[in-house]
Amino acid sequence: MNEKRPITFKDLIGIPRVSAPAVHPSGRYIAYVLSKHDPVKNKVSSTIMLHDIENGSDRDLTPGDHKDSSPSWSPEGDHLAFSSDREGGSQLWILPFSSGGEAYRITSGDGGISNPIWAPDSRRIAFSRSVVVSPHWDGNAEGLPSDEKEKERLKHARTYGLVNDRSSARIESSLLYRHWDSWRGMTRSHLFLVDIDSGEIADITPGDADVPPISLGGNQDFVFSPDGREIAYVKNPDPVVAISTNNSVFRQTLDGIHPVGDPVDVTGCDAMELEPRYTPDGSRLLFLGADRPGYEADRLRIRCLDIVSGAIETLTEDLDRSASDPVWHGDRIFFLAQDMGHISLYSVDLKGRALQHSSGTTLTSLRSIPGSGLLAISESMTRPGDLFIVEPGEGFKPDTSKPRKIKAFSPPIDRLTDHGDLPDIDLPSPEEFWFSGSDGDPVHGSLLRPPGFKKGKKYPLLFIIHGGPQSAFLDNFHYRWNPQLFASEGYVVSLINPRGSTGYGQEFTDQISGDWGGKCYEDLMKGLDHLLETYDFIDRDRMAALGASFGGFMVNWIAGHTQRFKALVSHDGIFNQETMSYMTEELWFDIWEHGGMPHQNIESFRKYSPHLFVENFSTPMLVIQGEQDFRCPVSEGVSLFTALQVMKVPSKLLYFPDEGHWVTKPANSQVWYHTIMDFLKEHLG
């Protein structure tokens, strides 16, 4: 019998990744996307697979070295729509399923397509597409050269009204002109309908707004009513979306592929709304809604609009969890929510009676299977995601108490795919713990021992801090910050969810705002104390703190406030709160976190800004920065590295000119892991 071995980067990058499942109307088949990452070719390809639940077979529906995604079944199940880049830019394709035959393209033109969904009459498909809204560009591509590079150059010049078409200049006059890792190019996402028979296409959301919204949206933010006479979608109608979280649900009456009359804002509320879903009889419209305008991490409640009366009820007001992935199944609305380091399954009926159906497990991508149970992707730190059927059972009263021992409870669950099988790899199970944080509040975390752990031996500790800050470490299989890969190098890995983390009640999440270096920092330091007191195999003289985004900020804050660590790794972390706030793109975040912009509340920005404590820097640090990161811009990483060098602190800068907030290209991911591991070995031994 072969002995299991630690995981390697080659193992990690070679795992096929399952996503976007779509259930056939018969309930027998599942179409889903399988993505593969190739560090040699430095590319990502994806294909659409078909799983037959009845006989357990799995086959490739769209073979080839393309990016095929977003599968969507027609109401009768005889055709499958999907997006593909097989002829250049992403277009809408249809694959005959019942009759067989080759896939054929439905759309053409610029702007790509995403998230296609069928109308109930099987004659129309809705999809989103990027369109230019510049006053200089009329959308007419006639007369442009066939050469793609020349075409893009001339289109760029016309979009920005440049007097010389050889110029690469951009002229912007409003926010939000760039987002995450790309310039918007005066484009907006619009909702289109296409008539399958004629090929006619209509833009049903013209104007200077994004449908679905550019940020804070859900997994599916437009949906037909059961009779196909209207469509509900999400749009932020505010003129400056950079300072607004006002994503709103609209209803639009349709005549074929054309809108009739003006869209109707369902609530008129300025707080965030998303994920509209009609009940099967079309009498009600469900959606997720927050209460506080401007706050992206507010609790999302399930709300229900009575379409006839216009009355809106909140169904999950008494459940202190933020809902996602709502689906109608049987006579209840099932949904997922982060729950103390996991993602649990819940349900609620139209009278607001909520039930919990799982605990201590992580589910994503929830779907309903007609005549059967629920479909979900299940994963953990020891198992990459695969498709499972979940039978929800009767459920139990939701338990939000803390601290508590979180027992893994799952209703009957059947595995459908096995792409995440790693039979020869030693993946240690996480050990969960609670400790008393700031003000005595209970704080939750988990720990991984290295493969081949030996009692009596001392191990160095990697103290990893999550981003957000309103997010959490979950029991899932993360590919960018994979704790198993770090543990495989002989490290103990800790993952703590301090103040600001999600899944522990809204009050716990709220307590990070305006207090980044306060209770959250205290929670982390008390967590470190707990680890050292509880686990005698941790070598307190060989510890490193690592983090990205907010986690990078906290590493930078740690650099100026403690010398407990022998090495630090800061990825795209905030260094100067004041200058960063004017360089980032989603301004609503800083406005909420600091009670305004620096000219309105300067003391909040200076109170917890790492750049003001540079004189205390002494711990060796690896700084990682992406040039295309517009969330935590390149100035932050460059300034941090400069400060470290000025202070003569041993430091390195790992710079990616072609990456944004995340490192997504396979070759860059390999360099990222390798550089971090080398730096840790250099300073921890």
The CATH number that domain 207-314 falls under is 2.120.10.30
Banded pLDDT at 685 (limits 50, 70, 90): confident
Mean predicted lDDT score pLDDT of the chain: 96
Transcribe 311-376 into DSSP letters: -EEES-TT--S-EEEEEEETTEEEEEEE-SSSEEEEEE-TT--EEE--BS-EEEEEEE-TTS-EEE
Q: Report how far apart the first and last C-alpha atoms of the chain are (Å, whole number).
A: 33
> What is the pLDDT averaged over residues 533-554?
98
- Report the pLDDT averaged over residues 469-488: 97
Between the CA of residue 376 and those of 165, 373, 390, 551, what are the distances in Å? 50, 10, 7, 29
205 has pLDDT over 60: yes
Q: What is the pLDDT averaged over residues 588-606?
A: 97
DSSP string over 158-217: HHHT-SSTT-------SS-SEETTEE-TTEEEEEEEEETTT--EEESS-SSS-SS-SSS-
- Per the structure block, which two tokens stand in for 328? 């109608």
Listed as own residue / partner, the contacts of 352-356 with beta carbons closer than 8 Å and 24 or more positions apart are 352/313, 352/314, 352/315, 352/316, 352/317, 352/318, 354/315, 354/316, 354/318, 354/319, 354/398, 355/394, 355/395, 355/396, 355/397, 355/398, 356/395, 356/396, 356/397, 356/398, 356/399
Pairing of strands 621-626, 567-571: parallel
pLDDT above 70 for 550 = yes
What residues contact residue 548 under an 8 Å CB cut-off, 6+ apart?
A: 467, 481, 571, 572, 573, 624
Contact between 281 and 328 (Cβ < 8 Å): no
- Whether the pLDDT of residue 2 is over 70: the answer is no
Kindly state the percentage of the chain with pLDDT values over 90.
92
pLDDT at residue 139 in the model:
76
Whole-number pLDDT of residue 538: 98
Q: Write out pLDDT tens, residues 420-430.
A: 999 999 999 99
Fold of 431-684: Rossmann fold (3.40.50)
> What's the pLDDT at 582?
96
2 versus 634: the higher-pLDDT residue is 634
- What are the counts of helices (DSSP H) followed by strands (DSSP E) for the chain? 11, 38
Distance, CA of 97 to chain centre: 31
pTM of the model: 0.96
pLDDT, tens only, 573-589 = 999 999 999 999 999 99
The closest of 47, 39, 84, 65 to 665, measured between CA atoms, is 39
d(CA 184, CA 176): 8
Sequence ranges of the domains in the chain: 207-314, 320-419, 431-684
Tens digits of per-residue pLDDT, 291-336?
Answer: 999 999 999 999 999 999 999 999 999 999 999 999 999 999 999 9
**For residue 409, pLDDT beyond 90:** no
**Those residues with Cβ within 8 angstroms of residue 322's Cβ, 6 or more apart along the chain or in another chain:** 299, 300, 337, 338, 502, 506
Mean pLDDT, residues 102-107 taken together: 95
> Is 3 a residue whose pLDDT tops 90?
no
What is d(CA 124, CA 227) in angstroms, rounded to the nearest whole number?
A: 13
Chain segment 629-659, per-residue pLDDT in tens:
999 999 999 999 999 999 999 999 999 999 9
Amino acid at 543: M
Token pair recorded at residue 244: 């607004």
Nearest Cα residue to 631 out of 586, 569, 577: 586
What band does 439 get if pLDDT is binned at 50, 70 and 90? very high
pLDDT for the residue numbered 350: 96
Residue labelled with tokens 């980067």: 9
- Please report the pLDDT score of residue 88 as a whole number: 81
pLDDT (tens digit per residue) in 213-257: 999 999 999 999 999 999 999 999 999 999 999 999 999 999 999
In this predicted structure, the answer to whether residue 1 has a pLDDT above a threshold of 90 is no
